[in-house]
Amino acid sequence: MRSEALLRFDREHLWHPYASMTQPITAWPVREAEGVHLILEDGRRLIDGMASWWSVIHGYRHPRLVAALQAQAARLSHVMFGGLTHEPAVALGRRLVGLTPEPLQHVFFADSGSVAVEVAIKMALQYRIARGETGRSRLLALRCGYHGDTFAAMSVCDPEGGMHHLFAGILPRQVFAPAPACRPGSGEAEPDLQAFRERIERHADELAAVILEPIVQGAGGMRFYCPEFLAGVRALCDEYGLLLIADEIATGFGRTGTLFACEQAGISPDILCVGKALTGGMLTLAATLCTREVAETIGRGEPGLFMHGPTFMANPLACRVACESIDLLLEQPWQARIRDIEQGLRSGLAPCREIDGVRDVRVLGAIGVVELDRPVDMSVVPARFVERGVWVRPFRNLVYVMPPYVIDEESLAVLCRAIREVVAEI
């Protein structure tokens, strides 16, 4: 009864992500969550394959994160960051500066990933303005990329898969290079780099920066590419005086097997965005880091200030929980954990290759992807996963998982079996 009333109001009044209010799809009511399980209103337990979109790395309701949140709430939930500061922000800033490559020394705290991307783009543009290079205002991005849903972020998303057509004439027109075709391990980055260099040369005097997702292109297509390409892009940015913005909002905090995906190419970006797993999925928080050179150049220009300041900037609850989440991650043998999940996904998903309609199966770190040759019917497929006791939400032609790192071997096997069975049915 209770859940029926809840669902009725939800269906009639609440927007869901990328959803229609007139033709709403089924939403399952979650009562609570614990560890790797979502618990529905009717008591059913689902193994969560999505980690709530990359974020819940330690599982739900982790006692240390809950305790950190409660202790901070009892002391200081929020205070404006204009003219005031606090220990949770400083503690998190210290950790981020310490964990990221040495050149990244300055931290801007934002309230979501998209805003962190807006901030990164604004930093690059203010950097150009400060240098008197006002003509250099475009960004070079990759096809199949995803960087968020706000306007500047949308403008650097894949121009076909993204919302460019819908907002044609409104979005800034950026420059796009082909999505790299080199697979991790292949090392064959030269043709991709050639195409990338060609775009830079054609637009050198109007480009402010390059923006990309290092190694894993997430919501734009769940594609993996070789570190050699990323290293080559860094070298090209240096050669042509372009800033490199690395969007690690999905890849940060261990997901690909290294703490940050940039480490796989041994490079450091000029600007770095983190979000999603930053708080272990407890609260919304993101951050944009930049080099001393970027910060000092902005400081030398007009008006000498960086022109951004969200109301909930550096929220103490989110900062405190983020510190706890990072400590929790680093205190455990997380690399081994990710390797185990990678192994489990590899063996569990490999049989999908034999299924009709499967175009590709790929695994990197704690990410598993089954690419089909046709779009998944979202009106039936999520229900088939729920029937099997797992939560997997495909998009387009991609059935993919990135489970919480705490997932045990047996649950991972259940997750992979469900994917094999559902993929075989569709």
Residue placing its CB nearer to ligand PLP in the complex, 36 or 272: 272
Which of these is catalytic: 18, 42, 205, 356? 18
247 binds ligand PLP (CB under 6 A): yes
Residues 254-283 that bind ligand PLP (CB under 6 A): 275-276
Distance in angstroms (rounded) separating the CA atoms of residues 39 and 59:
13
> What's the min distance (Å) between Cβ of 147 and ligand PLP?
5
CB-nearest residue to ligand PLP: 113
Q: How many Cα atoms within 13 Å fall on the side-chain side of residue 55?
A: 19
Residues 216-235 that bind ligand PLP (CB under 6 A): 218-219
Work out which of 37, 86, 95, 147 binds ligand PLP, going by CB under 6 A.
Answer: 147
Which of these is catalytic: 48, 192, 247, 270? 247
Would you say 272 and 92 are in contact if contact means Cβ atoms under 8 Å apart? no
φ, ψ for residue 394, nearest 5 deg: -70, 165
Nearest to residue 53, comparing CAs of 212, 214, 218?
A: 218
Residue 231 neighbours by CB distance under 10 Å? 17
> What's the min distance (Å) between Cβ of 100 and ligand PLP?
16
Which of these is catalytic: 48, 225, 276, 400? 276
Nearest to residue 92, comparing CAs of 273, 320, 332?
A: 320
Residue placing its CB nearer to ligand PLP in the complex, 115 or 243: 115
Stretch that binds ligand PLP, among 75-83, 98-106, 144-152, 366-374 (CB under 6 A): 144-152
Nearest to residue 295, comparing CAs of 285, 305, 303, 286?
A: 305
Distance in angstroms (rounded) separating the CA atoms of residues 357 and 404:
28
> What's the min distance (Å) between Cβ of 284 and ligand PLP?
7
Count the residues of the shown chain that bind ligand PLP, applying the rule CB under 6 A. 15
213 binds ligand PLP (CB under 6 A): yes
φ, ψ for residue 409, nearest 5 deg: -55, -40
Residue 247 appears among annotated catalytic residues: yes
362 binds ligand PLP (CB under 6 A): no
Q: Indicate the burial class of 183 (C-beta count within 10 angstroms; 0-12, 13-18, 19 or more).
A: middle
113 binds ligand PLP (CB under 6 A): yes
Residue 405 appears among annotated catalytic residues: no
φ, ψ for residue 346, nearest 5 deg: -60, -50
51 binds ligand PLP (CB under 6 A): no
Residue placing its CB nearer to ligand PLP in the complex, 65 or 261: 261
Residue placing its CB nearer to ligand PLP in the complex, 113 or 348: 113
DSSP 282-341: SS--EEEEEEHHHHHHHHHSSSSS-----TTTT-HHHHHHHHHHHHHHHTS-HHHHHHHH
Residues that bind ligand PLP (CB under 6 A): 112-114, 117, 146-148, 213, 218-219, 247, 249-250, 275-276
Would you please indicate which residues are annotated as catalytic (active-site) residues? 18, 146, 247, 276
